Amino acid sequence: MNYLKSLVEPIFNSKTGVLLRNTVGFKRTEFALPSNIKNYSCSDLFFWRTDQNFRTFFRFSDIPNTYYGIENSQVLLIFYNKYGKELFREILAVNDAVTEIEIDKHKMGECEDYGTFSIFHLFDPGEMNDVKITNRCYVGYQFKNSLPSFVHGNLLAQYLDLSVGNNYIINNDVAKVFRNPSTYIIQKNFNSFDYSELMFCNPSEENIWIEVHEKKIELLPKSSALIKIDHPKLLKIKSNLPMPRPVVFSFKNKFFDCHHG
């Protein structure tokens, strides 16, 4: 039985196998990390925003040193605009247990907008195998003079094979799309706020659609969108993305809060 399982499992979890399972509805999977790669760094697709006097702060840990004893590592940060187009990349040396970077309009070339970014830890795994890093660190959003409100990573999206040296090819096939739409309900009473904004992104390599209160949007891979809502009693989100979980920004007078849906 174990021998048969070892033969079937690679096919079952392959890209083609996952696509077939999600199409026919048999043991569907929302996210599929690479099973054939020994060492990789995986990232969520995080949101940045500099519009409406927002500033973004990103805090990440030195995961290679903390869990694998690897010193002098680096991180690769990739920034995308709201249409999913890559804006720029930068590589930073990791010198502290926790590093914070600020993303304001000056860093984004005086751009007052929003988009997404990802982070990958860079180092030579050497003789080690099964070095699998998933970065789901924290992003803080400061609105005008408010204190930053922090949320952790939202949706797994991309990975980088650590065995390919300096050939930084980003793979975007972690998040999957279902043929039958799903419904996601946010457990929150929005009536007590002046208004809220829902920020969505597309972490998959396929086009997706999202419907919120008769507002339907389509998102290209790595693209993002903000949807403003007023006072819904019950917020339902429909999408062909199996977990269309937004980041929620809520406003009331001078009060601001940010959290996962």
Phi and psi at 7, nearest 5°, equal -80, -40
Mean pLDDT of the chain: 87
At 15 the three-state DSSP class reads helix
Q: Quick one: how far is CA 168 from the chain centroid?
A: 18
Examine the pLDDT at 184 and tell me if it is beyond 60: yes
Q: What is the pLDDT of residue 2?
A: 52
Q: What is the pLDDT of residue 163?
A: 84
**Mean pLDDT computed over 163-187:** 87
| Percent of the chain whose pLDDT exceeds 70 | 88
First-residue to last-residue Cα distance in the chain? 42
Q: Where are the domains of the chain?
A: 40-171, 182-260
Q: Is the pTM of this model over 0.85?
A: yes
What gap in Å lies between CA 43 and CA 46, rounded to an integer? 9
DSSP string, 132-190: EEEE--EEEEEETTSPPEEEE---EEEEEEGGGTT--PEE--SB---SS-EEEEE---G
Architecture of domain 40-171: Sandwich (2.60)
Lowest-confidence range among 89-93, 163-167, 234-238?
A: 163-167
Does 155 or 101 have the greater pLDDT score?
101
In angstroms, what is the C-alpha Rg of the chain?
19
